Amino acid sequence: MLDIRLFRENPEVIRENLKKKFQEHKLETVDQIIDLDVQYRKLKTEADSLRGLRNSKSKEIGKLMGQKKFDEAEQVKKEVQEYATKLQELEEQEGPTELKLRELLMTIPNIIDPSVPIGRDDSENVELYRVGKSEKKDHEVSHHVDIMESLDGIDLESARKTSGAGFYYLTGDVARLHSAVLAYARDFMIDKGFTYVIPPFMIRGNVVEGVMSFEEMESMMYKIEGEDLYLIGTSEHSMIGKFIDTILDYETLPQKLTSYSPCFRKEVGAHGIEERGVYRIHQFEKQEMIVVCHPDESAEWFEKMYKYSVELFESLDIPVRVLECCSGDLADLKSKSVDVEAYSPRQDKFFEVCSASNLTDAQARRLQIRIDTPEGRVFAHTLNNTVVAPPRMLIAYLENNLQADGNVKIADVLQPYMGFKKVIKKV
């Protein structure tokens, strides 16, 4: 949510930002916000003035009664009643106007960073660099479901019976590999100085509104029927929500947290060939990293965070490339974002496995996360990034570590979490 002062003082910055994000349909919303802000401030000023008059006149009644000036006191009582009636009329307009203003403010996207490339969608994202050898293997690489089945590691048919499409059973060494990757990612981030957290897996509606846009909420979140609770789509939601309505001491920053959670997503829409298997599913697990910091430090932390992901995938022998997300591919609350994509030898292409985002103060304004600094109180900046999200990242792992004999090599860093096994053998 943008600072209302920007609408008052420099609305052209907002209009230009909407054009860069190809959201020209929201230009008239900017004008509505400006008009509503004028109305609200006028109502608030009048209401505050009446409250002051009512309070001073109420005190005057007490004095007059003490002086036994009963007729004058009755006259002042009538004035107070008139003020109260008028105040009630203003308050009946003030509340809804403020609510409408907030609703409209929450539809306007964050100001994108000047370095963000301008483009309509993910096809116009810009590749920054690659790490590892992204080349097809000499032997055939099967679909990830076929690889898992050859290792006796997945049961999709039973999952369809119990839960429907988009769910899975992982079994045996593949399930163990899944847990090993999460445990390794957890320890990797702890070694980077992050504090490990297991957060709530359900959050209230006001937290959901604070961490994401309405469009994302509708397409992603599962609501618990009859309760003000939602299943989280990523632990970032509850981790940023942890700081709602807090004033942080500058000396305690940055807050560096890494969190484990299951994640639940509707995944509305069709997504092509990778519908088969565990690429796009309703339930998965993830190790996440989030940082809450002073505004002056968020650009530096953004770069550190996505480079942690690159380093982790490199340690797992998975080639990756880093893409700068263009303006049209940024979710509304993001100021800047980078995707880390893993190489698929089967398809000879890359697919997303991590997404690092700097949301500047967009979430902090919605959730009232502030910092006391020597220069005064400011809104915090919030950042997030995926560490790993199996089982999707297992696709990249299995394809890149599949051997010609059908066995899957276990990376050195994962062996301590796999009972020091070196391979998962084809059944």
Distance CA 274, CA 118 (A): 28
Predicted confidence band of residue 85 (pLDDT cuts 50, 70, 90):
confident
Q: Looking at the predicted structure, is the pLDDT value of residue 53 above 90? A: no
Based on the domain organization, do 73 and 170 belong to the same domain? no
The answer to whether residues 14 and 90 belong to one domain is: yes
Is a pLDDT exceeding 60 seen at residue 258? yes
73 and 153: one domain? no
Domain co-membership, 99 together with 181: no
Q: Which of 250, 239, 180, 235 is nearest to 410 (CA)?
A: 180
Average pLDDT over residues 228-255: 96
Last residue of a domain, one of 60, 78, 105: 105
Beta-carbon contacts of residue 65 (< 8 Å; ≥ 6 apart): 73
Could you tell me which residue, 344 or 81, shows the higher pLDDT?
Answer: 344
* Partner residues linked to 202 by β-bridges: 231
| Confidence check: pLDDT of 117 > 90 | yes
Is residue 204 pLDDT above 80, yes or no?
Answer: yes
Residues 147 and 22 in one domain: no
Q: Is residue 113 part of a domain?
A: no
What's the pLDDT at 347? 92
Residue 115 lies in a domain: no
Residues 135 and 101 in one domain: no
Q: What are 287's strand-pairing partners?
A: 260, 388
Residue 175 domain flag: yes
Could you tell me if 150 and 72 lie in one domain? Answer: no
Write down which residue in 105, 138, 172 finishes a domain.
Answer: 105
Determine, yes or no, domain membership for 112.
no
Please indicate, yes or no, if residue 111 is contained in any of the structural domains.
Answer: no
Q: Does a structural domain hold residue 16?
A: yes
Q: Using one digit for the tens of pLDDT, what is the confidence trace for 220-239?
A: 899 999 999 999 999 999 99
Per-residue pLDDT of 28-50, as tens digits, reads 999 999 999 999 999 988 888 87
Same-domain pairing of 89 and 130: no
Question: Which domain does 157 fall in, by range?
Answer: 122-424
Q: How many domains does the chain divide into?
A: 2
Q: Are residue 54 and residue 195 in the same domain, yes or no? A: no
Q: How many Å apart are CA 143 and CA 398, to the nearest integer?
A: 10
Q: How many CB atoms lie within 10 A of CB 147?
A: 25
**Same domain flag for 234 and 90:** no
- In this structure, of 5-9, 246-250, 305-309, 372-376, the range with the lowest mean pLDDT score is 372-376
Task: Please check whether residues 269 and 398 belong to one and the same domain.
Answer: yes
Q: What is the pLDDT of residue 74?
A: 66
SS3 assignment, position 337:
strand
Q: Is residue 262 part of a domain?
A: yes
Residue 136, in any domain of the structure: yes
What CATH number has the domain bearing residue 285?
3.30.930.10
Tell me the whole-structure pTM to 2 decimals: 0.89
pLDDT at 273: 36
